[in-house]
Structure 1
Amino acid sequence: MKAVAYKEFGNTDVLQIIEQAKPTIQSDEVLVKVKAFSVNPMDWKIRKGEMKLMSGSKFPKKTGADFAGIVEDIGTSVTGLKKGDEVFGVVKNMMKEGASAEYIAVTSSLVWKKPSDISFAQAASIPVVGTAAVTALEKMGNINSKTTILVNGATGGFGMFLLQLLKQSGANVTAVTSTKGTDFAEKWGANFVIDYKKENVLSKKVTYDIVIDLSGKIGYKNAKQIMNSKALFLNPTPKTVEIPISFLSNLFTAKKHIVILSSPSTKSTDVLLKALANGLQIEVNKVFPFDQYQEAYDYAEKGGYIGKVVIEIN
């Protein structure tokens, strides 16, 4: 079978198509014929060696974490799934495994049936950023219409899920996005939208109960000036050093710096499937064919797009 892989850390030019044997499955695994896998920022952070302490340096490495496809075979202890099921899921160890292949073997607990009314590309967009959005929602605690929330970088994949989950929870949300993202932010439920190309949210002298920085461009230090006295700053893109520092600083300040670390599970997926049934929409910005994998990652790494980027395998 064909797989997109790399044999050294680097930019997109290290990616290549390699031939590998079709994987065999353990008793608790399913073999999935991959139809689509999505692109996430974590993919290139791992590929560039920024996370080698967790990913290790054993090559070749595949890329991609979440996928959608068709069940080709099931292990002897697998229940609830059968051959031919249309499914979506995520690899078990996102640091060391990848979904960028024609077939992958995956633990059955991380594979779910695909809703019939969404495409493979849409389904492949769910697990990583969807779970992160559910985790962020949980970190916010009890929120209601009086809770003021600022979402910075609001119309990428993470923001797409988060805005719609927040809308379904009834929170008062201000979204910061680009000019081309304003319509999407409004459609996805933002009460107020700030075009960062026209206004600087830090200079508006408006404060919030929760600030979540999806773009990683505000930072906790700057965010404090627009946070209420007992506000939360949620950080889904922490630098390694920020994890222990945030824990220590929270002991001495009422303005808390909360690092978001998430891992897909049936619990989070159930929340997302319920939200989908209640009208949550998945915007796939662009779909690339398998043989244009390098163009797909070049496009994604430039940023500035709405929703998700997906690679399909015919």
Structure 2
Amino acid sequence: MHIMKAIVYKEFGTTDVLQTVEEPKPTIKADQVLVKVKAFSINPMDWKIRKGEMTLMSGSKFPKHTGTDFAGIVEEIGSSVSGLEIGDEVFGVVKNMKDGVSAEYVAVTSSLIWKKPVNISFAQAASIPVVGTAAVTALEKMGDISAQTSILINGATGGFGMFLLQLLKQTGANVTAVTSSRGVAYAKKWGATSVIDYTKENVLSRQAGYDIVVDLSGKTGYENAKKIMKSSALFLNPTPKPIQIPLSFIKNLFTSKKHIVVLSSPSTKYTDTLLEAVRNGLDIEIHKVFPFAQYKEAYQYAEQGGYIGKVVVEVN
């Protein structure tokens, strides 16, 4: 039996509950691929699940792995899988509420794996699926947007904002990005029409001028955002607390300012859009890469927030 290293946790809690264990290397089903993991990216959902905030979706069975999107090299291919070969460089995603990718090898359904573009690194490829899919989904929720649409993105230079700003640039919309002093140059580079440094100005002191407010920081909230929204504006919330999901549907029946929960699930449709954007020069900024042995530091660092782009753990 082949053994691999994996990061698991056996109870909900802080980064202290994370530990390295030795596990059997996964065996694959007919529709799966075994990937030697080279990198996996860190997303806020990782620590929400680990802290026990998402038990409705994640369940409470232990041990749990962490991490959702990854990149690596195909090591084995299931009997019913076509279009992939051993040795292919790929990236992909697991159903993160139940599985995880924080290990030396991962078995993944072939429909959730794509070939890695040659012009990006494993770390960059591992950063695409979760935030990229969320950004494309947010764009869909915005409906028809044009140069007349004024959009505010709060927390605009993390991984999600990095993708969303660059995808919005192609629509010509009037985008205001709210970020830290460090993020101002990045927000401009990624296509924001104007940039607010939140350390110097509180965006909520502005006039009600926005058609769409996207709260990527999770700090504004719908009730606050209403002050700066036009009468039939949309508030996009990609980080809802579980209770907000049904509540937003009910409240939207009674108000013209809609609270839209953005829930996304990676698929080939979204990934094709993202791969096209990468081929056209989409910039994927990796803020910091941690080695596998420093995974605790990586999660502690990522949870503090405030950085530009993505934080990634390299495995092999």
CA RMSD of aligned residues (A): 0.7
- Aligned amino acid, residue 71 of structure 2: A
Partner of 2:106 in structure 1?
104
Identical columns (%): 76
Q: Contact 2:68/2:100 (CA < 8 Å) preserved in 1?
A: yes
- Inter-partner Cα distance in structure 2 for 1:198 and 1:111: 43
Is 1:115 the equivalent of 2:83? no
- Alignment map for 1:1-314 (pairs within 5 Å): 1-91=4-94, 93-314=95-316
- Inter-partner Cα distance in structure 2 for 1:279 and 1:167: 13
> Which has the larger displacement, 47-56 or 289-298?
47-56
The superposition leaves residues 119-138 of structure 1 with CA deviations (integer Å, 9 ceiling, x where unpaired) of 00000000001000000000
* TM-score in terms of structure 1 length: 0.99
1:280 partner SS:
coil
- Inter-partner Cα distance in structure 2 for 1:245 and 1:19: 43
The superposition leaves residues 6-29 of structure 1 with CA deviations (integer Å, 9 ceiling, x where unpaired) of 111110011111000010101100
Shift of 1:206: 4.7
- Inter-partner Cα distance in structure 1 for 2:114 and 2:286: 20
- Aligned amino acid, residue 28 of structure 2: I
Shift of 1:53: 2.1
Shift of 1:204: 1.9
Aligned in 2, Cα 1:204/1:222: closer, same or farther, shift over 3 Å?
Answer: same
- Inter-partner Cα distance in structure 1 for 2:222 and 2:62: 36
Query: Gaps spanning 5+ residues in structure 2: where?
Result: none
- Aligned amino acid, residue 119 of structure 1: S
- Inter-partner Cα distance in structure 2 for 1:169 and 1:116: 27
- Inter-partner Cα distance in structure 2 for 1:222 and 1:299: 28
The superposition leaves residues 192-231 of structure 1 with CA deviations (integer Å, 9 ceiling, x where unpaired) of 0000000011102251110000001111111111111111
The superposition leaves residues 101-132 of structure 1 with CA deviations (integer Å, 9 ceiling, x where unpaired) of 00000000000000000000000000001000
- Inter-partner Cα distance in structure 2 for 1:8 and 1:241: 23
* TM-score in terms of structure 2 length: 0.98
Shift of 1:239: 1.1
- Inter-partner Cα distance in structure 2 for 1:222 and 1:287: 35
- Aligned amino acid, residue 279 of structure 1: G
Shift of 1:155: 0.3
1:18 partner SS:
strand
2:170 partner SS:
helix
- Runs ≥4 residues deviating over 6 A: none
- Inter-partner Cα distance in structure 2 for 1:211 and 1:50: 25
- Inter-partner Cα distance in structure 1 for 2:152 and 2:75: 44
